[in-house]
Chain A
């Protein structure tokens, strides 16, 4: 069995250089690769293009990489939770490409499926269509969207094995699964790393072929963005 295990986040991030494009898994703060974000700050890599549905909050998640000004460009669908993001965007320090959420998820997935383009009705007739090829199929207009080309994808899974197979937990699956298949090099940090053979093959969400480096993370904070509860 091929062994994908690396010692820690620092080792996993080897080869990430200034100016590279990185997919970052998670939805809001749910399922973000906390250990890798911390290691990336320590590493100090600059001018990154980040593909991530959201940009974290001011003091957590990708918001931390915005504070250190390591991100040159964000490709996201919704960035409403982050004041520093808004400030950098309005001042022109940060380039931002806002794209529909389904388009974002699918462009990640396609990179792992070997599909270069896909037609989608999302954004037809809006400013998202500017500069894009439009095709008409059976009487309906579609925008042609390209697969992402990311140097690295960094994802967080619940369980993983030494062969790189991944299982996600609950809605922390979100963008982590499509992104885990979409990087030229995929790094997975997991809450529990087990020997090959310990995971049920038919319960695996991402097969290890897509995952190049895996390590067991620690000290997960798992911050909740909107704690909504009801009384017993």
Chain B
């Protein structure tokens, strides 16, 4: 079973040289820590940065330089800054190659819910709806089951949707799964020490298993 860093590390393998990548809040943010040397990518932050760098050194933080999570950040050489309308323009125009974000539920047809729990939590969708509606490639980083032990990989989402038919891949503490265009979660890899049976038990939606399922290499 993977911890949060393990999930981030596995997702980092999906990041290829030359990509522009948008990382959501939570586990996706950790992915930046595991991008291998020699893979050159630019991180986009939807408030208006390309080429986002590390957190600043203590004492060097700048209130005017934050990321979409409202955290103080720095810029790398070659970075650029723009307004939020242009930022979503480049997202809508599919200039951003890969979007990695968290989810509360994903359906077997690739629908995603991650912005609202009616009556309990209403924080808003932020940029998530724009990102999932337009991204060429979306990877979801999340736990396989919720705190109540219920599967988050469902036949159909129960929570209000963020977007439809958009998620391509999911990485959880248990597995890597592909959402097939015709529907269903195809099991690609098992986390170290996790059996196919355990993944079956934790997946409420249609799970497709073909042949031997390899263990992840991370």
Q: CB within 8 Å of B: which residues of A?
A: 27-31, 53, 76-81, 86, 89, 96, 98-103, 105-106, 108-109, 120-128, 158, 168-178, 205, 222-232
Contacts and interface: CB of A to CB of B under 8 A. Distances in A.
Nearest to A82: B123
A29 B130 contact: no
Contacts of A79: 122-124
Contact of A80 (B49, B124, B133): B124
Contacts of B49: 171
A231 B164 contact: no
A177 B123 contact: no
B92 A120 contact: yes
Interface in B152-186: 160-165
B197 interface: no
Interface stretch (B36-44, B64-72, B187-195, B206-214): B64-72
A230 B57 contact: yes
Given A126-B162, A174-B84, A175-B84, A102 B73 contact: no
Q: Which 10 A-B pairs have the closest CB atoms?
A: A102-B88, A80-B123, A102-B130, A125-B164, A177-B83, A222-B63, A100-B129, A121-B133, A78-B124, A78-B126
Interface size class of B (residues with CB under 8 A): 35 or more
Contact of B83 (A29, A101, A176): A176
Contacts of B45: 171
Contacts of B161: 125-127
A125 B87 CA distance: 23
A164 B58 CA distance: 36
B84 A105 contact: yes
B72 A232 contact: no
B109 to A, nearest CB: 11
A175 B70 contact: no
6 contacts: A29-B70, A171-B64, A171-B67, A172-B64, A177-B85, A225-B70
A101 B65 contact: no
B102 to A, nearest CB: 14
A231 B48 CA distance: 26
Interface in B89-135: 89, 91-92, 111, 122-130, 133-134
B56 interface: yes
A174 B122 contact: no
Contacts of A168: 83
Given A105-B83, A168-B83, 5 more contacts: A80-B124, A101-B130, A120-B92, A123-B129, A125-B164
Contact of A30 (B54, B70, B87, B111): B70
Contacts of A232: 57-58
Contacts of A81: 70
Given A123-B133, A227-B72, A30 B123 contact: no
B64 A102 contact: no
B47 A128 contact: no
